[in-house]
Amino acid sequence: MTKIMRSALPFFGTLLALVLFLLFPARYAESVKEGISLWATSVLPSTLPLLLLVSLLTSNRLFGGAERVLSPLAGKCFRLSGAGGCAAIAGALSGYPVGARTVLDLVQTNRLSKEETFRTAAIATTSGPAFLVGAVGCGMYADGRIGWLLYLSHLSGVWIAAFLLSLKGEKPKGLLPRKGREVPFGELLKSSVLSVLTVGGAIAVFYAFGQMVCDFCDFFALPRELSDVLSGLLEMTTGCARMAASPSRAGFALSAFFVTFGGLCVSAQQLAFLVPAGVRPLPFLAVKAFEGLLAAGICLALCPLFGL
């Protein structure tokens, strides 16, 4: 019975989306085009080079030097190896899905132990300052302070949750022997291009899903606030934009939650890399939701310090 219940919501949700797309193909095809446009103009130019550069770093044998430098700090704070610490930094500076892809690269080259893979995935799947400060703060809110507020709240929520997860984690056993050869540049380029195409597909599809949610809420005259929240849970960029339309402390907190949880769109992008690395989807989503709640609470507490 439990298995049937778990399958019922995804099944009927997918069926409803299929019916809506068949009934109004032009409307939702336009939403897909908007998602592709966003990916092509905003995501592709930054994400593809970052994916390739991080892949080049993690595949190089000299990467072990960075692991050794970070190993003491990562081990003391989060009970992660130096490789896990490198993945966390890659995520914090570059943003998703670079962190998730880094986790997969490290697992495939035997740099992460099976025990620490999940905890590394939880801390490495973060947004970067370019998106939060540039796109959300300076762009959507026209106020850089809000971008830094969201970035600080976001990282704090993720790192606090990672620390709590580490309390039951085993201490890292040091550097693991590297597995396999150094991957040629051509293979890394091909892999990076396919990865960024996966990201683009997720954005395009979830943009259409977000429009369907808005149409559903409008049809049944549901509150605008519910539509905003559901849109953010599906696609966090849309959710942040809707919060920016009427700035408030509650809106800042919800934006912090959306960005940290990532929405189903970002989760789909990240799980495309994390599932092959051995990360189970439901526990991962539960941890990201918990991180989002922490980030929202921290955001509310920090608002007065930022004069907001």
258 and 231 Cβ atoms separated by less than 8 Å = no
Residue type, 220: F
The better pLDDT of the pair 156, 69 is held by 156
The better pLDDT of the pair 65, 34 is held by 34
pTM for the whole structure: 0.85
Structure confidence at residue 247 as a pLDDT band (50, 70, 90): confident
CB burial string 247-270: b at 16+ within 10 A, e below: beeebbbbbbbbbbbbbbbbbbbb
98-129 pLDDT per residue, tens: 889 889 988 888 888 888 999 999 999 998 88
The better pLDDT of the pair 194, 104 is held by 104
- Domain residue ranges of the chain, discontinuous segments joined by +: 25-306
Of residues 154, 157, 135, 156, the one with CA closest to residue 144? 135
Residue type, 283: P
Both tokens of residue 166? 């580490």
Quote the percentage of the chain above a pLDDT of 70. 91
Residue 14 pLDDT greater than 90, yes or no: no
DSSP H/E element including 39: none
pLDDT at position 253: 94
Residue type, 177: P
Residue 3 pLDDT greater than 70, yes or no: no
Both tokens of residue 223? 């509150």
Of residues 15, 31, 20, the one with CA closest to residue 265? 31
pLDDT at position 280: 93
Q: Let me know if 134 is exposed, middle or buried by CB neighbors in 10 A (0-12, 13-18, 19+).
A: middle
With a CB cutoff of 8 Å and minimum separation 6, the contacts of 3 are none
Both tokens of residue 257? 């939650």
What number of other Cβ atoms are within 10 A of residue 124's Cβ? Answer: 29
How many residues are present in the chain?
Answer: 308
Cis peptide before 10 (omega within 30 of 0): no
pLDDT at position 182: 63
Measured N-to-C along each axis, helices 63-78 and 82-94 cross at an angle, to the nearest 10 degrees, of 90
pLDDT at position 91: 85
* Widest CA span in the chain: 59
